[in-house]
Amino acid sequence: MSQAEAIGQARQWLAAAQSIAVLTGAGVSAESGVPTFRDALTGHWANFRPEELASEAGFRAQPQRVWDWYASRRDELKAVQPNAGHHALAQFQQRHPGRLTLITQNVDGLHQKAGSPGVLALHGDIHATRWLDGFPGGCSRANQADEVCDVSAASPGRPPRCETCGNLLRPSVVWFGEMLPIAELEAAQQAADHCDVMLVVGTSGVVYPAAGLAHQAREAGARVLVLNPAASDLDEIAHLLLRATAATGLPALLDGL
Ligand code: OAD
């Protein structure tokens, strides 16, 4: 089947689907100028060791280095805009409220910036911060609920620190070895279980449990579409492989539906 035929077939399935789940990864933001993780040369993990920059142990070992890395990524994102792929998804969601569940591994906020409602951000939000230690809203040395420290009152520093208890702020992203946010993961699993089409865009499909959502959808009977200019670990479960970039492939799939 040619790529044009594959796009045509995919559009038919999408048009007929009552429920669509979309799982995106770093590739959906590549054409906005955001580096991916595993692309050779340009990916973050081609240049840095994930266990140093994306784990609690790495942060505790070198808090300033890790804080500064996330701060520089946040700064780079200030000038970044959603691309035609983010917009095609957001516009489809606006035309068909409730029909498409958008699940992302990205922490860059670009789907939200494009206007997508209800994005399930499985790996957190790079623009948000939280305490390193302690329960949500609390902190390491607070023993009672009324002893909570306010993250907005953290004193400046790299990383900022609570003046009362000494707790450090950390980026509110999911690091290796950490749990995904439970409400988002459950909602994503529901969508995977009930969708007619699972569209996977711009992910290498090597990080679980996110990649498991595509398997889950396939096992539950959904058609699986993989949109990626290169091979990925999820190709083997795809009913259709769409070899295009996100900014060209997503409008080709969704515009006019
Ligand atoms: P990866 O860097 O692993 O994969 C990026 C994918 O995007 C690759 O399959 C590329 O072929 C594809 N790609 C590149 N350019 C593209 C384009 N213009 N359009 C579409 N696809 C393109 O990124 P993820 O799969 O997102 O985890 O990585 C998963 C997780 O690993 C990330 O969320 C992050 C990382 O460690 C956390 O931060 C917890």
Query: Does any domain span residue 53?
Result: no
Q: Does residue 152 form part of some domain?
A: no
Any domain includes 219: yes
Tell me if residue 199 falls in helix, strand or coil: strand
**What is the CB < 6 Å shell around ligand 1?**
25-27, 30-31, 36-39, 43, 50, 54, 105, 123, 173-174, 202-204, 207, 228-230, 232, 245-246
Interior/surface letters 122-150, b for 16+ CB within 10 angstroms, e for the rest: bbbbbbebbbbbbeeebbeebeeeeebbe
Within-domain flag for 160: no
183: in domain: yes
Asked if the structure places residue 61 within a domain, the reply is no
Name which residue sits closest to atom 11 of ligand 1, judged by CA.
230
- In angstroms, the CA 64 to CA 83 distance is 32
- Per residue in 197-240, pLDDT (tens digit) is 999 999 999 999 999 999 999 999 999 999 999 999 999 999 99
Of 123, 127, 194, 215, which is the active-site residue? 123
Domain assignment of residue 182, yes or no: yes
* pLDDT tens-digit profile, the chain (257 residues): 999 999 999 999 999 999 999 999 999 999 999 999 998 778 888 888 888 999 999 999 999 999 999 999 999 999 999 999 999 999 999 999 999 999 999 999 999 999 999 999 999 999 999 888 865 555 655 555 555 677 777 788 899 988 777 788 999 999 999 999 999 999 999 999 999 999 999 999 999 999 999 999 999 999 999 999 999 999 999 999 999 999 999 999 999 99
pTM: 0.95
| Residue to mutate (ligand 1; options 38, 89, 108, 248; most atoms within 8 A of CB) | 38
Distant-in-sequence, close-in-space partners of 206: CB < 8 Å, separation ≥ 6: 38, 233
Q: Give CA–CA dist 168/176, Å, rounded.
A: 19
Q: What is the DSSP letter of 168?
A: B
In a domain, 59, yes or no: no
Domain with 18 in it: 3-33+81-127+171-254
Q: What CATH number should be reported for the domain holding residue 26? A: 3.40.50.1220
Number of domains into which the chain is organized: 1
**To test the ligand 1 pocket, which listed residue (32, 36, 106) has its Cβ within 8 A of the most ligand atoms?**
36
Nearest Cα to 6, choosing from 227, 184, 210?
Answer: 227
